[in-house]
């Protein structure tokens, strides 16, 4: 699975174009994915299976849906400028199911420049494989801005998508030697803001969540490999074997060596709830 898909949003293509009588869409079309079309200048019409023929103008955003016929373009004898994104995933499917994706959305004048800027930024990021996750984040924030993240219907979908994106960041840096605060941030939110949101929604701090991911990976390595404990520790991003053994015991209730022996012997030790363990308030 691609990192961009962990958050339930995969960007397949993004760009901009100027359409006129010669270059506009001439016949009804069906796409395999969702599409967003932001009208940066001009006016025209749009129609689809969800929308009767309607006038659209600068600042409007069209949402096109997979498997549904649509046709749009500038008025005859004129041209318009558009920015577009082709995307798919569980997140837009959830938004659609909750009724949060209207066929046409009028963006407020105060945010139009920001939407255009985010889409421009995402287009540049999409050109480089190592910036694809940042591209996903830019499109994600553009969607929130377009749909108004303070609207009632969008809040639950927004929270789920944002939490999934934060989990994505932690998975992406699972083996990173950097402190969580170095990368657990976005252009829109500081580390402390994201940390508080993550803690509120999951009951774990980012560091606690990442440690759980590391310990689950360590369990797999202890079960299915012959790596010594020190190598297992290094394989999950922990350089100190003693620290690793301490954290693993807090997680599983027994030491890594005991855990491996219990499997070999066909026994199963029930995990305990250690005092001051991975979920202790002092963890950050």
Q: For 126-186, give the DSSP string.
A: HTSGGGHHHHHHHHHHHHHHHHTTTSHHHHHHHHHHHHHHHHHHHHHTTT--S-GGGTS--
- In the chain, where the domains are located: 3-146, 206-264
The CATH class, in words, for 3-146 is mainly beta
Are 146 and 115 a contacting pair, CB within 8 Å? Answer: yes
How much is the pTM?
0.55
pLDDT in tens, 219-271: 989 988 889 999 999 999 999 999 999 999 999 999 999 998 887 665 444 44
- pLDDT-derived band of residue 64, with 50, 70 and 90 as boundaries? very high
Are 6 and 158 a contacting pair, CB within 8 Å? Answer: no
Token digits of residue 138: 């830019």
Fold of 206-264: Arc Repressor Mutant, subunit A (1.10.10)
């Amino acid at each position: 699975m691609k990192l961009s898909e962990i958050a339930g949003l995969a960007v397949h293509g993004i760009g901009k174009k100027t359409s006129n009588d010669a270059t506009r869409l001439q016949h009804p079309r069906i796409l395999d994915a969702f599409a967003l079309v932001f009208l940066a200048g001009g006016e025209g019409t749009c129609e689809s299976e969800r929308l009767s023929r309607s006038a659209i103008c600068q600042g409007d955003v069209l949402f096109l849906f997979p498997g549904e016929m649509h046709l749009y373009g500038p008025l005859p004898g004129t041209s318009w400028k558009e920015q577009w994104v082709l995307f798919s995933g569980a997140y837009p499917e959830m938004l659609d199911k909750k009724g949060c994706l209207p066929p046409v959305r009028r963006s407020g004048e105060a945010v139009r420049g920001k939407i255009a800027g985010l889409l421009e930024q995402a287009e540049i990021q999409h050109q480089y494989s190592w910036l694809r996750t940042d591209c996903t984040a830019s499109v994600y924030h553009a969607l929130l801005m377009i749909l108004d993240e303070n609207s009632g219907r969008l809040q639950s979908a927004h929270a789920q998508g944002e939490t999934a994106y934060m989990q994505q960041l932690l998975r992406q840096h699972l083996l990173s030697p950097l402190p969580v605060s170095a990368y657990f941030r976005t252009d829109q939110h500081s580390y402390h803001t994201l940390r508080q949101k993550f803690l509120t929604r999951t009951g774990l701090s980012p560091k606690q969540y990442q440690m759980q991911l590391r310990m689950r990976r360590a369990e797999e390595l202890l079960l299915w490999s012959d790596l010594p404990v020190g190598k297992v520790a290094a394989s999950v991003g922990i350089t100190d074997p003693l620290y690793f053994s301490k954290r693993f015991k807090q997680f599983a209730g027994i030491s890594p060596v005991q855990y491996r022996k219990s499997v070999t012997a066909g026994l199963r030790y029930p995990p305990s709830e250690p005092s001051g363990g991975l979920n202790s308030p002092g963890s950050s």
